[in-house]
Structure 1
Amino acid sequence: MLSALTVKTARSVLRRFQHSSSRSGHACSWQSQRRDRETAMETTRLSKDFCVTAQISTDDLPLIHALGFRSVMCNRPDGETQDQQLFAAIAQAADNVEMVSCYLPVPREGPSPETISSFLEALDTLPKPILAYCASGERSKRLFEKAHSEKSDTT
């Protein structure tokens, strides 16, 4: 359960987030208590319902949920680095705050055709808005762009 201070902070941050991120491709950030220290989490809005960010932690999920995200998508393979939290921990934390989680890892070389197809299916089925993450946010961004490029090529 969120404390009153966390909810008040989240509401204030949500107002700033909504105001500053109304256009696609606009980077926005908010403050988050991560591992007992305050750090900034920056997201990039790629569409009305899809944002990307760098690696998140289980401590970030209550604020991410309070900001209005309904789904979190992991595009980072488990075990890529020793210090990253595994998807199972992120998924449990997401479930604890009533968010849907999706594991769709993308190797550094880029997404396969099957991954792109699964991504498009996830975009159609996951509750929105969606926050996708990987190590830096770049793979999630490239996956989104490649999927939309291929989707527009077939229509």
Structure 2
Amino acid sequence: MNYRAITGDYGVSGQISPEEVGALKEAGFTTVINNRPDAEVPPDLGSDRMRAAVEAAGLTYVENPFSHAAFSPDLVERQGAAIAAAEGPVFAYCASGNRSTILWAMSQVKAGAITPAEAVEAAAAQGYDLRGLMPQLEALTPG
């Protein structure tokens, strides 16, 4: 299974299938965050099916659907809370990994764990261009 390691503890990819969950466990992930709304996927990849597969593998499942049409600060809060509560590496997915990377960057900048520049650099190293979000990231910087 292919994924992009944004950090040593946070990886992202596009849509996964229930059959790929075992590979996530083998890779050491302990939490799986679904950032894809059910309206974007066929029923066999919906949140209920994914939750069942993730939990059957002994991993923690978090649903935090992010639609470009319905972004809210609550999404950042939920992503950050899931990352903070994780007992090991976190894997997040959406259609391409971009939305999962955006939520990671915003939540970690807001928590003071990284600077906006560090977030943009980490994302760019894995092929995600967040430079256009620099004003939003800077606005989230604590202090």
Q: Structure 1 length normalisation: TM-score?
A: 0.67
In structure 2, relative to structure 1, the CA distance for the partners of 1:52 and 1:113 (3 Å cut) is same
Matches for 1:92-111 after TM superposition, within 5 Å: 92-109=52-69, 111=71
| Larger strand share, 1 or 2 | 1
Partner of 1:119: 79
Structure 2 residue 100 is matched with structure 1 residue 140: yes
- The one-letter amino acid paired with 1:127 is E
Stretches of structure 2 lacking an aligned partner (at least 5 in a row): 113-140
Partner of 2:90: 130
| Larger helix share, 1 or 2 | 2
- Of 49, 52, 63, the match for 2:12: 52
Q: CA RMSD in A?
A: 1.8
Distance in 2 separating the partners of 1:68 and 1:111: 30
Question: Identity of paired residues, percent?
Answer: 25
Structure 1 residue 90: deviation in Å? 0.8
The count of aligned residue pairs is 115
Partner of 1:62: 22
In structure 2, relative to structure 1, the CA distance for the partners of 1:83 and 1:89 (3 Å cut) is closer
Stretches of structure 1 lacking an aligned partner (at least 5 in a row): 1-40
User: Which range is displaced more, 65-74 or 83-92?
Assistant: 83-92
Distance in 2 separating the partners of 1:134 and 1:84: 15
Distance in 1 separating the partners of 2:63 and 2:43: 18
Distance in 2 separating the partners of 1:135 and 1:108: 11
Structure 1 residue 82: deviation in Å? 3.5
- The one-letter amino acid paired with 1:154 is P
What secondary structure, in the 3-state scheme, does the structure 1 residue paired with 2:33 have? strand
Larger radius of gyration: 1
Distance in 2 separating the partners of 1:50 and 1:101: 14
Structure 2 residue 76 is matched with structure 1 residue 88: no
Distance in 2 separating the partners of 1:103 and 1:126: 14
Determine if contact 1:100/1:127 at 8 Å carries over to the other structure.
Answer: no
